[in-house]
Amino acid sequence: MNGWEPSCDIGESPVIITTYCTALASETGKAFLPAELQINSGVINKETKNQSQAGVCTSDCGVSGAICSEPCGRLFRGERLFMCRDGKWQKTTDSCANLDVQSLFERISVDGSVNIAGGHVGGRENVINMKPGFEIKLQSATAHRNRSCLADFSCIVPDILSSPAIPGNIVNIVMLLKNISLKLSEDVNRAKMQSYSKIANHVLNASIISNWAFIRDKTAGSILLDSVNLFAGKLLIKSGSESIPEHFMSTKGSTINRKTPGQRFDFSMRFNNSNSAIAGSVFIPQEELLKISTPSHAVSVAFPTLGAIMKASQLNDVLVNGMILSVALPEELQQISLTFEKFNKSNNVMARCVGWHSTERRWDEAACKLKTDDMNSTVCICKHRHHTFKSFSILMSPNTIRNTVLDYITFVGLGISIFSLLLCLTIEAVVWHHVTNTTIAKMRHICLVNIAASLLIANVLFILAAVTYDKVKDYATCVAATFFVHLSYLSLFFWMLALGLLILHGLLIIFRKMKKSAFMAAAFSIGYGCPLIICVLTVAITEPRKGYIRDGACWLNWHDTKALLAFVIPALMIIVVNLIVVVVVVVKTGRFAIREGTRSQDLSSVTRTGKNVALLTPVLGLTWGFGLATIVRYDSLGFHVTFALLNALQGFFILLFGTLLDRKTREALRMRCVSTKRKCSITKS
């Protein structure tokens, strides 16, 4: 489609740029909301199990926090889990289901393959884990497929609408919608969108919202939102405009071009079985439409009940106080206006405009700003921009903080680092024969050159990966870029490990010299062999489930498959080993000073120790240890800035401490300058 780009949250979705926005109210206004929507951070009308109810977990419980499981009834698969609270069993999760979505998907797909996760919907694809005895024998539906079903999905709608919207079925329906969006979203016509909307509407019904509380995966609402908008964004609009209303979900679309005098989508929807309605609207101003280079289209979807399902993540004491509006637009458009009628029209309820961050699964106040606010409604101005994960801290953190300062630090630091590493390798080439006249010196410089080369390649590929996602947006290209970035950074770490082990060998095994051939074989096996094995295994394990890369960046996935651990665990283990090496160096230096036995040399020993630590820290990668802080406290901007500042400049520190401050290297450079009769500013210390 012309002018449409991949993106998956506020500004990013796998196919189109989509903005999800709503208005929030303080928790004190909860009592004014409709009864169906009075939800508290994902805990919705928790069920209590007592002796009057039939089942396994019927007796009074004595130990608070104890867990009791109960099988589902006949014809259902899954189980219910209860926790002991206040002397009674209270239901916590429920995976009971009777809907065979595998066979349903087979009836509407060409390849007939879909993976459904009972109780879990996270990840691009998931494998069903049914208990023995509950496995359903799936019959091939190829013979029963017909053109009508493949054209509009209508043949599966009655089966889904007739099934109870219990937690297990909700999970399976969400997963079915996700797989349809990922695999069957080509040529989305009106009939397909109608069938899709009816299926989604079934699990958004206000009467069954309480069942969402017992779903194990609390990101199901966010996944449903992403799936619906991915599918709706590909809606083909042939007659100028399109409207596909359902009770709890409404889709509207329209063709747009530079001459369109502003575009508005108005919604009025009931949120329960009464005549009460809630309104909302999306407006694209004419000055924004003038930015469109070619005719395109816009699609908006309204959800009056979904806000009750999605918790007010990372915004304390707030709840959704209006419908959720999503908008899929061409990337040229930068700003839109959204109007929300309030559920709670109390005077003392202040509104906050937010957008849903799908990747980090939280409400983001930076996405929108409040324009006007009165007792009945709120008008928000929301950004509609395409963002790319560019911060260097993405390498170690499962989530990424979006911050302009962090991006500047990253790319300025990487630029300095790349230039420094090129200079470092040039100097090593110039002085190589002068500084490698002993076996141990040659081993050290081999490690240093490979560290510099690996970091140089990694930094260049990191920038190219960011550009690849921002410009190309091709999944296969992004996978390839991620693989080589992963390989380059792992090679960096394993070469730093080889250098650390070389130093340790020199300190502890002083009476046995290492053979050059043995060192070369071991170093190159460690430096390049181990990273290659880890990277290949990571791709082989995660990519079949499309879980190798994360949404929003060409880098390893965290939320779905934990592929990021294939980088984090080796890196942290190597940092620990190299930290031990530095400690040994410090201890050895201290013992040498004690043997000297004169107080006059105390200051020089302290200076020598500090110099050793300063020299070893960048070449052994100890600054990467700050990455642990970005994992534990991924929401702390301070940790991300510190990590980005230290490690984006690692190439500069290697040039400074590993090359320029090395006495033999400076001496060789001075001799080189003298021999060529050039002026040299390098002085002999």
pLDDT tens readout for residues 612-626: 777 788 888 888 877
Same domain, 567 and 643: yes
DSSP 8-state class, residue 97: B
Helices (H), 286-393: 286-289, 306-309
Which segment of 145-159, 268-282, 484-498, 589-603 scores lowest on mean pLDDT? 589-603
- Residue 78 region, left (φ>0) first, then alpha (ψ -120 to 50), else beta? left
Distance CA 362, CA 109 (A): 33
pLDDT tens readout for residues 394-416: 565 555 555 677 778 888 889 99
In SS3 terms, 472-485 reads as HCCHHHHHHHHHHH
- For every residue of 46-59, DSSP letters joined together read --EE-TTS-SSS-S
pLDDT given for residue 424 in this prediction:
93
**Cβ contacts of residue 191 below 8 Å, gap of 6+?**
151, 152, 153, 154
Whether 535 has a pLDDT exceeding 50, the answer reads: yes
Is 441 within the bounds of a domain? Answer: yes
Which segment of 119-123, 365-369, 505-509, 519-523 scores lowest on mean pLDDT? 119-123
Same domain, 540 and 461: yes
Distance CA 500, CA 618 (A): 12
Distance CA 354, CA 574 (A): 41
pLDDT given for residue 515 in this prediction:
80
Same domain, 288 and 413: no
Percent of the chain surpassing pLDDT 70: 73
Is 87 within the bounds of a domain? Answer: yes
Whether 38 has a pLDDT exceeding 50, the answer reads: yes
Distance CA 251, CA 326 (A): 10
Whether 334 has a pLDDT exceeding 70, the answer reads: yes
Mean pLDDT is highest, among 48-52, 214-218, 316-320, 414-418, for 414-418
From the list 568, 664, 618, the residue with the least C-alpha distance to 455 is 618
Choose between 112 and 359: higher pLDDT.
Answer: 359
Same domain, 123 and 8: no
Choose between 453 and 471: higher pLDDT.
Answer: 453
Is 227 within the bounds of a domain? Answer: no
For tokens 């283990």, the residue is 573
Same domain, 398 and 462: yes
Is 651 within the bounds of a domain? Answer: yes
Percent of the chain surpassing pLDDT 90: 24
Q: Specify whether the CB–CB gap between 455 and 651 falls below 8 A.
A: yes
Average pLDDT over residues 177-187: 88
Average pLDDT over residues 365-388: 76
Q: Specify whether the CB–CB gap between 614 and 657 falls below 8 A.
A: yes
Instruction: Round to the nearest angstrom and report the end-to-end CA distance of the chain.
Output: 65
Same domain, 481 and 543: yes
What are the tokens at 335? 């700003």
Distance CA 481, CA 473 (A): 11
pLDDT tens readout for residues 96-109: 999 888 888 888 87
Same domain, 534 and 582: yes
Confidence category of residue 87, pLDDT binned at 50, 70, 90: confident
Distance CA 325, CA 249 (A): 10
Q: Specify whether the CB–CB gap between 250 and 206 falls below 8 A.
A: no
Whether 42 has a pLDDT exceeding 50, the answer reads: no
Whether 139 has a pLDDT exceeding 60, the answer reads: no
Confidence category of residue 41, pLDDT binned at 50, 70, 90: very low
Whether 46 has a pLDDT exceeding 60, the answer reads: no
Whether 375 has a pLDDT exceeding 50, the answer reads: yes
Q: Global pTM? A: 0.54
Average pLDDT over residues 52-60: 60
What are the tokens at 527? 């430096």
Is 469 within the bounds of a domain? Answer: yes
What type of residue is 281?
Answer: S
Other residues' Cβ atoms within 10 Å of the Cβ of residue 563: 23
Same domain, 579 and 456: yes
Confidence category of residue 291, pLDDT binned at 50, 70, 90: confident
pLDDT given for residue 136 in this prediction:
36
Helices (H), 142-298: 147-152, 157-161, 167-183, 190-204, 220-232, 286-289
**Cβ contacts of residue 213 below 8 Å, gap of 6+?**
42, 43, 44, 45, 46
Same domain, 261 and 311: yes
Same domain, 53 and 165: yes
Is 542 within the bounds of a domain? Answer: yes
What are the tokens at 499? 């250098």
- For every residue of 665-680, DSSP letters joined together read HHHHHHHHHHHTT---
Whether 122 has a pLDDT exceeding 70, the answer reads: no
Average pLDDT over residues 333-339: 86
**Cβ contacts of residue 565 below 8 Å, gap of 6+?**
none
Q: Which of 369, 387, 405 delimits the end of a domain? A: 387
Which segment of 186-190, 549-553, 581-585, 592-596 scores lowest on mean pLDDT? 592-596
pLDDT given for residue 626 in this prediction:
74
Q: What CATH number is attached to the domain comprising 488?
A: 1.20.1070.10
For residue 78, the enclosing domain spans 43-217
Q: Which of 363, 387, 411 delimits the end of a domain? A: 387
pLDDT tens readout for residues 576-611: 998 898 888 888 776 655 555 554 455 555 666 666
pLDDT tens readout for residues 629-650: 666 666 667 777 888 888 888 8
pLDDT tens readout for residues 210-269: 899 899 888 888 889 989 988 998 999 887 889 999 999 999 999 998 888 888 999 988
Average pLDDT, the chain: 77
Same domain, 310 and 356: yes
**Cβ contacts of residue 281 below 8 Å, gap of 6+?**
264, 265, 266, 267, 338, 339
Same domain, 6 and 112: no
What type of residue is 69?
Answer: S
pLDDT tens readout for residues 660-680: 888 888 888 888 777 665 454
Is 683 within the bounds of a domain? Answer: no
Distance CA 365, CA 336 (A): 15
Distance CA 12, CA 6 (A): 6
Is 229 within the bounds of a domain? Answer: no
Q: How many domains does the chain have?
A: 3
Q: What CATH number is attached to the domain comprising 30?
A: 2.60.220.50
Q: Which of 350, 369, 387 delimits the end of a domain? A: 387
Backbone phi, then psi, for 284, in 5-degree steps?
Answer: -105, 110
**What number of helices (H) and strands (E) belong to the chain?**
19, 19
Q: Specify whether the CB–CB gap between 490 and 567 falls below 8 A.
A: yes
